[in-house]
Amino acid sequence: MLCFSQDDGFNVTAFQHLFLPSVPWYQERYMKQVSLGSLMLLCVLRTLVFNLAKLNDLYLLDTFLAVISNMSPHMESIHPYASQRLVAVTLTVLKKYSSCAHRLAAAREASGVRAGDSSVLTSESLHSSESPVDLEQMLDVYKRSVEVLVRTICTCLRPRQIHKNTNIAYAIMHKQHSILEALADPAFLASQGVAEGGGAGSMPPLSGALAGDLAFLRSLIQHIDQRIDQAAEQDLSVERIMEIIERSTSTFPGIATSGGTAQTITRDDHLPVKIAHQEPDEPESFFVQYAWDVIKAFSQGDLHWRQQPSAGV
């Protein structure tokens, strides 16, 4: 799938030209007239969530994050359910990142470890269930996931593309309160040096690109919310909200921040860099061991593997 996602022609065809009338094998939701790209996105998101929750496989994580990143510049007319899942998974990862960042800050404070110096651990931290080193690794996993998922949403909603992805904009507005609440966490204010209640000062810093993408999301939510309020209608139907979103997105300038300065995004120079599959020099030394580890992990309850090889093997 990573190799396919490197092909721009494949991505364009998957999202714009190839639609499936139904997907009977996909049991989570009945869908009709869904594009192949939307179906791929759903499958990748499902695998990503399962990996973050149970497998913790970094190779699988990097691969599927690369697939999402490669497809994002070509995503359009995404199925409503795929849009909902993209926003829901992004919100979940945002919450997991902030939770992990708080736990890491608390662990560092308890063990006397400062940011960037996780090699000095006290006996208390060594005997605790969560050491700063483990939390740093976990935080890095969530950070990479947040960066790719948030950048994917921002790429789909950039000025030249936003009118083709109103389903994503609707899904964001449906979850706007939860998203704004998550983004108000001190963990996402660390890059700006904002300390609310003393929390942000000890939080791991965010990258400038991620901070700009988060500012873009805030601006988009505020822009559409203002247009909905201006409609001055009490009972808005889904169709009416979609109509307001379509009109409001045509006037959305795409505000982001860079170095604390507001900018208007009018070009596509912020698109994700394409990630290519790199074949190792000796692929069998990695993939054979990787496949064997997966087989052992999933068969421990059913099969008992001999720890030592038999004589002559």
Per the structure, the complete domain to which residue 149 belongs is given by 76-299
Domain count, the chain: 1
Residue 33 neighbours by CB under 8 Å, 6+ apart = 19, 20, 21
11: pLDDT confidence band, cut at 50, 70 and 90? very high
Q: Which range among 32-41, 269-278, 292-301 has the greatest average pLDDT?
A: 32-41
The residue-averaged pLDDT of 183-207 equals 66
Instruction: Let me know: does 37 contact 75? Beta carbons within 8 Å.
Output: yes
Per-residue pLDDT of 91-113, as tens digits, reads: 999 999 999 999 988 888 877 64
How far is Cα 67 from Cα 41, in angstroms, rounded to an integer?
9
**Residue 109, in any domain of the structure:** yes
**Residue 14, in any domain of the structure:** no
Per-residue pLDDT of 14-41, as tens digits, reads: 999 999 999 999 988 899 999 999 999 9
Instruction: Let me know: does 78 contact 165? Beta carbons within 8 Å.
Output: yes
**Residue 284, in any domain of the structure:** yes
Signed CA dihedral, 86, 88, 94, 97: sign only:
negative
**Residue 21, in any domain of the structure:** no
The CA angle 38-287-44, to the nearest 5 degrees, is 10
**Residue 311, in any domain of the structure:** no
The CA angle 210-48-285, to the nearest 5 degrees, is 105
Instruction: Let me know: does 111 contact 125? Beta carbons within 8 Å.
Output: yes
Closest to 213 (Cα-Cα) out of 274, 153, 145, 267: 153
pTM for this predicted structure = 0.77
Provide the 10 A C-beta neighbour count for residue 247: 13
pLDDT of residue 66: 93
- HSE on the CB side for 236, CA within 13 Å? 18
303: pLDDT confidence band, cut at 50, 70 and 90? low
**Residue 6, in any domain of the structure:** no
**Residue 43, in any domain of the structure:** no
Closest to 161 (Cα-Cα) out of 12, 274, 35: 12
